[in-house]
Structure 1
Amino acid sequence: MEKVKIIECPRDAMQGIKDWIPTENKIQYIQ
């Protein structure tokens, strides 16, 4: 069986959150 590597990027994670996240917070998190 092959190993599977799961990678989560911040953009995908933030899109899964239902509440509004201010753009400034997103920028700070990604930097």
Structure 2
Amino acid sequence: MGGRRVRYRVSGAGPSVVMLHGIGRSLEDW
């Protein structure tokens, strides 16, 4: 990710899903 810090959560089963959020949002908002 271009040297940027990245937070991620791994849970569940099945194919991976990538969700990107904008400014002012957080992982907890999902």
Normalising by structure 1, report the TM-score. Answer: 0.25
Normalising by structure 2, report the TM-score. Answer: 0.25
The structure with higher relative contact order (CA 8 Å, sep 6+) is: 2
More helix by share: 1
Mark the structure with the bigger radius of gyration.
Answer: 1
